[in-house]
Amino acid sequence: MKGIRLGRLFGIEVAIHPSWFIALALFAFTLANGFFPSAYPGWSAVATWATAVIATLLLFVSVLAHEFGHSLVARSQGIPVRGITLFILGGVAQLEREPDSPGREAWMAIAGPLVSVAIGVATLGAAYALPGPEQVVAVLAYLGVANLALVVFNLLPGFPLDGGRVLRALLWRISHDVVRATRQAAVVGQVFAWGFIALGAAQLVLGGGLGGIWLALVGWLMIQAARATARQTEIDHLLSGVPAARLMTTPESWLSPYMTLDWAAKDRLRDWESRCLPVAAEDPAAEFGGLMCARDLKRAPRDRYDRDRVRDVMTPALRLPTVTPETQAAEVLRLLREGEADRAVVVDAGGRLLGFIDVDTFARFFNAARSRRRGATPPHAPA
C-alpha cells in the first residue's frame, strides 16, 4: 500500500494512505456529534470540534505506536520493514517476509497490543490523576478506552489480526507445519471476518449507520488478507530452496522469427496450451531473439495469422528478465509479478540460453507439489 510519505522514525518510513483522511473525518465527526456533546454538554461547538480532532489525531498516533511495536520487534529478528502506512482501517506494517519460527511470530504479534496496553493504562491513569482542564482529561480518557478497545479487538484469534497470528504460532508449534497452521488460522480468521460482516449488516439494517459499514469493511479486508497470506505462505514454502534450474523448461526446438503464425500454430505450438519456444535471433551476433508462447498466438488476431510472423508477437529478448540457473525460484516469481513480462529466460555465464520459466511453469509446479502433498500422483508431470 502506497501513500503520502510523512518521514522516517527509527529508520522506518511512515506514510499516510489517502483513505486515512476518510477515517480522520469519520472519527472526528462521531466524537464531535456523539461522545463529547453527551459527556460534556457545556462545551462550545468550537471547543467540542477542536477536542474531537485532537483526540482523533492522537488515536492515530497510538495506532502508529502499535505498528511500531510490531515493526521494531520484527526488525530485531532480522526482518526488514518496508514501512508503516496509516489507512482507513488503522495501520499496517509492511514486512519483507514472515517470521521464521513460531516463537518469533508470537512475540512479534504480541508487541503491538503490548504498546497499546501501555498507552491505554498510562492515559487512563493520567485522566484519573489530572485535575483538569476538562478537555485534556476528556482526550486522555478517550485515548485510554480506545486503546484498550483496540487491544481487545486485535487479540481476537482471527488471522490476520494479532490474536490470529498468536493462534497460528501456537498451531505451528504443535504441528511443525507452517503451511497447515496458516491455513487453519486463516479459516478461523474467515469465520470471524464473516461474523463482522454479518454484525455490520445487522447494525446497518437496525439503523446503526456508518459503524455497520465500517465493521463489514473490516471483515471483507480480513477475508482478503487471510486468503492472501495463506496462499503466500504456501508459495514461499514450496519454493524455498528451489533454484531456477529445477523449474525451467529446456527448449525442445526453436522457432524462426520469420515463420508465419499460421505455420507456428499448425506445426509447433499446436496442442501446446501453455508451452513456449525460443525464437532464433535475426542478428547473427545475438544468442536468441525472443520467446514465443502459445498465449501470444491466442492474443494475435486470427485473421492475420497468414501474414503476421513470430517476430511480430513474441516477447523480444531485450524485454525478458534474465536469471541464472542458481537464482532462487521465489526471486524469479517476484520478477514476473513486479515486471512487465510474464516469462523469464535462464542463461549461463556466457549468456547462452539454457531454458525459460513462465507463469504457467509455476502453476504446474504448485499443482504437482499440492498433489504430492495430498499423497496422490500428479495428473500431469511438471515440465
Q: How far is the CB of 90 from Zn ion (least distance, A)?
A: 8
Q: Is 67 a catalytic residue?
A: yes
Q: How far is the CB of 65 from Zn ion (least distance, A)?
A: 11
Burial track 86-104 (b if 16+ CB lie within 10 A, e otherwise):
bbbbbbbbbbeebbeebeb
Q: Is 348 helix (H, G, I), strand (E, B) or coil?
A: coil
Taking contact as CB under 5 A, which single stretch among the options 7-15, 110-118, 298-306, 346-354 is the one that binds Zn ion?
110-118
Taking contact as CB under 5 A, which single stretch among the options 71-79, 97-105, 156-164, 336-344 is the one that binds Zn ion?
156-164
Which C-beta is closer to Zn ion: that of 52 or that of 169? 169
Catalytic residue among 13, 67, 134, 252: 67
CA-closest candidate to residue 287, choices 357, 358, 356, 361: 356
Q: How far apart are CA 145 and CA 154, in angstroms?
A: 14
Could you please report the per-residue DSSP string of 314-380? SEEGGGS-EE-TTSBHHHHHHHHHHSS-SEEEEE-TT--EEEEEEHHHHHHHHHHHHHHHTTPPPSS
Tell me, by CB under 5 A, how many residues bind Zn ion.
Answer: 3
Other beta carbons within 10 Å of 353:
18
Which C-beta is closer to Zn ion: that of 182 or that of 361? 182
Residue among 162, 308, 358, 360 that touches Zn ion (CB under 5 A): 162
Taking contact as CB under 5 A, which single stretch among the options 144-152, 153-161, 227-235, 248-256 is the one that binds Zn ion?
153-161
* Whether the Cβ atoms of residue 157 and residue 163 lie closer than 8 Å to each other: yes
269 secondary structure, DSSP code: S
* 360 near Zn ion, rule: CB under 5 A: no
- Residue 284 gets the label, from left (phi > 0), alpha (psi -120 to 50) or beta, of alpha
Residue among 112, 120, 144, 251 that touches Zn ion (CB under 5 A): 112
Which C-beta is closer to Zn ion: that of 75 or that of 309? 75
Q: How far apart are CA 9 and CA 62, in angstroms?
A: 14
Which C-beta is closer to Zn ion: that of 117 or that of 126? 117
* Whether the Cβ atoms of residue 160 and residue 225 lie closer than 8 Å to each other: yes
Give the bridge partners for 298, in sequence order: none
Q: How far is the CB of 162 from Zn ion (least distance, A)?
A: 4
Q: How far is the CB of 163 from Zn ion (least distance, A)?
A: 9
Which C-beta is closer to Zn ion: that of 117 or that of 300? 117
Question: Which residue ranges make up the site for Zn ion (CB under 5 A)?
Answer: 112, 154, 162
Q: Annotated catalytic sites, by residue?
A: 67
